[in-house]
Every structure is written in structure tokens, then in C-alpha cells.
Structure 1
């Protein structure tokens, strides 16, 4: 998440593996919007394999699955973000918002000292 000139990146780790971060949160949003991992990946400019690996990582790291998939044909196929996934996503987005609020004052002081573009 970008706040002015500052980029904040909150990550939650499960052992050494990133369990949740901005890219995984964006992927959960995209799965909610598009109803499939492949469509979500396309919307975010990533391959199906990359999107699937991120979903697999989230599902392995959290106690409850964040994304459920249904294979096969028909309208029931695809992916959906579970209730646990929606809760994790909501809490992660709230954390991002709170971090942005906490750094606002310090950011203003740093931005006052920052050039608008780097020197050549």
C-alpha cells in the first residue's frame, strides 16, 4: 500500500513462509470479484500457476482454508473465498489502514525534506 511517498508492506509469516501480504490480499479480492483463480490471476497480471501457488500457500498457513475450489464443469466450478478468508482479508486491510494512520505525522515530516524527483 502506498501512502504518499511511503510504501508500507505488512506481511504475516507462518514459520519462514509469508502467509499474508499485499499481493495475497489483492488475490483474495480478485477471487471474490471473479470467482476463479485463473480469472483472478489474469486480472492481476499473473499466471494461473503463480496465483494457484499463492492460494496453496495461504491454505497451508492458516488453520482454516481461505479459498475453496470446485473442479469440473458447470456453474458450480471455480473458487470462492471462505468465511475464514473474508475474515483474514478484512483484518489484514484494517491493519494496513491503521499502519497508514500511525505513520501519517512522521510521513509528513519526511516528505517535507524529500525532493520531488532525484537529482540527475
Structure 2
């Protein structure tokens, strides 16, 4: 039988637009799974916006030892922070790196992100 399960096509354009709007203001995006957060970050690139801050939480009780390097974006070494470069592509590369580190370490995290336009 075919058609019983819809392929995982990711968030809708309406979801992405709403999340983007939230991520541009005070409380940031809603808590998103890694794939959703990545979809939002890629969507924001279309508008010249980058992830300037990120927080992560573990929705499960059992997680590997904590490593804040993959939990937070915005408190990184000099040169990697948004205020140092204001470059959406560079910010996306760091964001992807942090998602990869968490995945490598077996952490299942949810992400809240904040977006800014290049040069702001």
C-alpha cells in the first residue's frame, strides 16, 4: 500500500514564517527540534538573516554529560559571535557545527533561536 504515510517534508512555509517572526523578537522562536531549527536557520538566510543567539534544552531526563559548547550560541570565542562578524552564512556554519556536536554526542535537544539581519 502506498500513501498511508506522508513523507517527512519538514515544516510548512506558514510555520517557517511564524517561527521567523518570533525569532526576530524578544522571546525568540518556540522550542524546535534540531531539524526544525535547521530549517528555520536556512529559511532565514533567504532574508539575509542569521542565528545570532541560540539556547538548547534536553527534553529527556537521560542525556550524556553536558557540554555547553553545543547548547549555546552567542557566548562563543571572540570572532565567532554575531557582534564580531554579523555574517548570516558564518553564523549558520557555527549553528550547524553545534547541532552536529550534539548529535555526535548522542544528545537529543530542542532549540530556541534568535535571528538578526546582516549588519545589525
Global fold match (TM > 0.5): no
Higher-Rg structure is 1
TM-score, scaled relative to structure 1: 0.31
| TM superposition score normalised by structure 2 | 0.31
Structure with greater contact order relative to length (CA < 8 Å, sep ≥ 6): 2
